[in-house]
Structure 1
Amino acid sequence: MSFPDTKLTVRSPADLVAAVPYLLGFRPDDGSVVVIASRDRRIVFAARTDLPAPDAPASHLLDLTANLVPVVWQQQPITDLMLVGYGNAEHVDPALRTIGEAFTTSGMTARELLRVTGTRIFNLICDNLACCPAQGIPFDPVASLVAVQATAAGAVALPNRAAVAARFAPVQGAARDSMRDATREAVTRLKAVNAAGSNTVDEAGAQAVRDALRQHDSGKRLTDDEVAWLTLLLKRLSVRDLAVDLTQPHDQHVTFWADVTRHAEEPLVPAPATLLAVTAWRCGDGVLAVMAAERALQVDPAYGLAGLLLQALHAGLPPSLFEQAITADRTDPSAQ
């Protein structure tokens, strides 16, 4: 994820580390490694992955690098590559060096190998004690100039990855009971529409999608009955595909589909979760896109569009290939 309309001044390793949570959308946990690629002094790619456990076989780290290097190659041309690891020295330092060597072998040399332990940064490449003391460089992730710039620009860094998942986690309690009742009524309503023929269902679906997006854009939240009706109609692929076409790549529509996913009954989650993934991907939020696609596949492992998106995201493909992915899905008779 990058800042398409905002310039952040990164002059030092501390600035780079302070920028990471805003590039990802959340603060990495210990045991993470972040890869950042830039082109002509502009960050074009940032991704996080979990390091294998300290006691894991060496082959696990080699497998991780074998998957990571091709993903970064997809971002070429790049002019700078930086790695940031989080955790203690015994776990992170050997892993960073192994990953760095793998990139060097592939023709991409990491300019920075940084470890973040608590509120200190350790540079694994620099041996100049004047600028890279053995005790590390202290930094304040909240008070840094980069954090101030990012916050002023409206960027958000959630406390961890779990907080990203919470954006579309299922509602519970009374809210869930209300949605269950609304969905039962929507099923009865759909039976009556089905009796009038498939064209009538398509028309009802198109109207529901347009009305829902228009209502959200005007600042009005959908009622439980409206959400239930929408999620039921989104099971029809023609209605879901129309929703893909009508949804715009901006934060308001990310919020919209996250809210619909939260309220949808479990069997109806795949379509809105996939629409959330699509919208987040097009907005540059790869982390949310991956997690939303995974949520869709958790409910229905055979949901075609979610699987296609997840493959593209794991391969590091840019959102510019979105239309090709959609076209392939729509022309595949086995896709869902």
Structure 2
Amino acid sequence: MAAVPYLLGFRPSDGSIAVTASRDRRIVFAARGDLPAPGAPARQILEVAANLVTVLRRQQPINDLMIVGYGTEHIDPALLTVSEALTASGMPVLELLRVTGTRVFNLTCGNPDCCPPQGTPFDPTASLIAVQATAAGQVALPNRAAVAARFAPVDGAARDGMRRATAGAVTRLTAVCAAGAAAADEAGALAVRDALRKHDDGKRLTGDEVAWLTMLLQRPAVRDLAVDLTQPHDRHVTFWADITRRAQEPLVPAPATLLAITAWRCGDGALAGMAADRALQVDPEYRLARLLLQALHAGLPPSVLERAADTDRSNPSDK
């Protein structure tokens, strides 16, 4: 239970349900969803359960599941309905828990000696799992808003500076494109390599460098090279989050999708999904972001990325 916020990347809010799947005593998958409001029709709860069943079946073989609900006792009926639906589908639920503040309630144990009806107090920040996760560089942000803040647009003077820098990049790219598509792609490859190298050396890109990079990332070949060169570690997550924050709004989809892909490869499904959503807010037809979001919703592993990228590259006119 203490591991759930670190698996998701943030602490679930009240009204949430989290499911972790284990194989040979090792957690192999975690997902979060929203429960219907108390008093909602039973069919809405069953729809939540049906979606979880579909996703979890793709993670087979699974030995057992743990369900954790967040909120007051009003969500207990919904949690029990979801648990019964998963069990009926052949997925064994090992534990059904509810967390309220700093207390945990076991809904499957009726022994008051080990599972008192008033709940068991716990400190999620002081557990061994929390200590180990923090030492490994994993964090559990307080909520989804804190996750979104990692790539929220800059404002004020920083935004004004990026607007001017992007105008200059437009003029520069127009001149490069006059020499042909190959020249533009070559400039893009150089910009991507230089940007990642500079970041890995501990340096932050200037506004002009970010503007130039985000202009060139509009070219599918340049973006695909960036996918290949980006590594699945937090440094590159931080890099693409910064580029997404500083990009002018029309240029956001490419860096936001690169952020989503990098976060997905690092196992941060929450950040990946929210970054893909950000890309689609700007351009609802951005193909690679849509493919990634579909894979996330289906509970598919990052290994499907190669097939998605191959499909995208076979249609160079697609974004």
Separation in 2 of the partners of 1:236 and 1:55?
50
Separation in 2 of the partners of 1:332 and 1:70?
30
What one-letter code is carried by the residue in structure 2 that aligns with 1:321?
A: V
Alignment partner, residue 128 of structure 2:
145
Alignment partner, residue 38 of structure 1:
22
* Cα displacement (A) at 1:333: 5.3
Q: Is the 8 A contact 2:256 2:279 kept in 1?
A: yes
Alignment of 1:281-296 (within 5 A): 281-296=264-279
> Could you state the TM-score of these two structures normalised by the residue count of structure 2?
0.98
Count of residues paired in the alignment: 319
* Cα displacement (A) at 1:145: 2.2
Q: Equivalent of 2:42, from 14, 37, 58?
A: 58
Alignment partner, residue 234 of structure 2:
251
Separation in 2 of the partners of 1:332 and 1:42?
39
Alignment partner, residue 32 of structure 2:
48
Alignment of 1:111-122 (within 5 A): 111-122=94-105
Deviation string, structure 1 residues 2-30 (Cα, Å, up to 9, x no partner): xxxxxxxxxxxxxxx22111111111110
Q: Does 1:322 align with 2:305?
A: yes
What one-letter code is carried by the residue in structure 1 that aligns with 2:34?
A: D
* Cα displacement (A) at 1:328: 1.6
Secondary structure, counterpart of 2:189 in structure 1: helix
* Cα displacement (A) at 1:334: 5.7
Q: Does 1:131 align with 2:122?
A: no
Gaps of 5+ in 1: 1-16
Alignment partner, residue 83 of structure 1:
67
> Could you state the TM-score of these two structures normalised by the residue count of structure 1?
0.93
Deviation string, structure 1 residues 219-261 (Cα, Å, up to 9, x no partner): 1110000000000010011110111111111111111000000
Q: Is the 8 A contact 2:217 2:255 kept in 1?
A: yes
Relative distance call for 1:335 and 1:67 in structure 2 (3 A) is: farther
Separation in 1 of the partners of 2:216 and 2:32?
36
Alignment partner, residue 87 of structure 2:
104
Separation in 2 of the partners of 1:44 and 1:108?
15
User: Following TM superposition, where does structure 1 have runs of at least 4 consecutive aligned residues deviating by more than 6 angstroms?
Assistant: none
* Cα displacement (A) at 1:98: 1.0
* Cα displacement (A) at 1:174: 0.6
* Cα displacement (A) at 1:329: 1.9
Separation in 1 of the partners of 2:213 and 2:116?
58
What one-letter code is carried by the residue in structure 2 that aligns with 1:159?
A: P
| Identity in percent | 75
What one-letter code is carried by the residue in structure 2 that aligns with 1:190?
A: L
What one-letter code is carried by the residue in structure 1 that aligns with 2:230?
A: T
Separation in 1 of the partners of 2:69 and 2:23?
21
Secondary structure, counterpart of 1:319 in structure 2: coil
RMSD: 1.1
* Cα displacement (A) at 1:59: 2.3
Gaps of 5+ in 2: none
What one-letter code is carried by the residue in structure 1 that aligns with 2:210?
A: V
What one-letter code is carried by the residue in structure 2 that aligns with 1:47?
A: A
